Amino acid sequence: MANSEIAPRVRYLEIELELDFVPGQCVTISAGGDSRHYSIASAPKAPQLGVLYDVLDGGRVTPRMAKMLPGDRIEVSEAFGSFVHDGRPSIWLATGTGIAPFASMIRSGINRDVTLIHGARSVDRFYFIDELRSSLGGSYTPCLKPAHDRVRSLEEASSPPHGVYSGSLSTVLRQIGPTPGRSYFLCGSSRMVVDMRDLLVEIGVPFDTIVSEIYL
C-alpha cells in the first residue's frame, strides 16, 4: 500500500489488489466501519488499484484513509458503475478528484478521438497533469477558473502560466459549441455536473449524449 499526498488535503491511495473492472467504474471502500464510493484512477492491468480522494474535514472515511499505512486493513468492494467510455468520439469534463475515472481510461489506452477539459481553482489541483498532457497532447485543456467572472477568449489566454488556459469550463464549452456525433462525459461535484449539463443542453447538445458521475 502507498498513500501519498499529491496536493494539500488530497491523496492518492494505491492498494495491492487484483480486481476486474472497466475503466470509469467505482469501488466502495470501508475504513473503520464506514464506507464510501470512489472512482478507480488506475488501469485494469496495473499492479495496484489507485484511488484519488479529498481528505474531508468531518468526513467519516477519508480522515481514516489518510492515516493508513502499509499493512493496515482496508475493505474494497467489487467494481461497479456505468460511467464507461462508449467507443464514440467524446468530450470529457472534470473538476477536482473527478479526474480519476478519466485517468483510468487514459491509462488504459483510451486516448483517441477524446478531448479532456479539466477545471480547477488552483494549479496544484490539476492532478496527473504531466501524464495527461503526454497522453492527450493538444486534446487536453487545463482551465484555471479566474477569481472574477470576466470572460476571456482563447486568443486572450494564449500564454497563461504553466500552459494553463485562464477561464472556466463554461467559457471553453461555449466557444467549442455543440459537436455532432460526440458523447459528453461529466465528472465532479453535483453543482458542476448540473451546471455543465444544463449548459450543454442550452447550446444544443442532445441530452441523451451526456453521461455524468456526481461526487458528493
Q: What is the DSSP letter of 113?
A: S
Q: Domains of the chain, with CATH numbers?
A: 2-76 (2.40.30.10), 90-215 (3.40.50.80)
Question: Which pLDDT belongs to residue 166?
Answer: 85
- Give the whole-angstrom CA distance, residue 176 versus residue 196: 13
Q: What local confidence, expressed as pLDDT, does residue 108 receive? A: 97
Q: 10-residue block means of pLDDT along the chain (216 residues)?
A: 95 95 97 92 96 94 94 94 95 96 97 95 93 95 73 45 81 90 96 96 95 88
**Residues 6+ positions from 9 with CB-CB distance below 8 Å:** 54, 55
Sequential DSSP letters for 28-63: EEEETTEEEEEEB-S-TTSSSEEEEEE--TT-SSHH
Q: What is the secondary structure of 126-153 as a DSSP string? A: -TTHHHHHHHHGGGEEEEE--SS-----
What's the first-to-final CA gap in the chain, in angstroms? 25
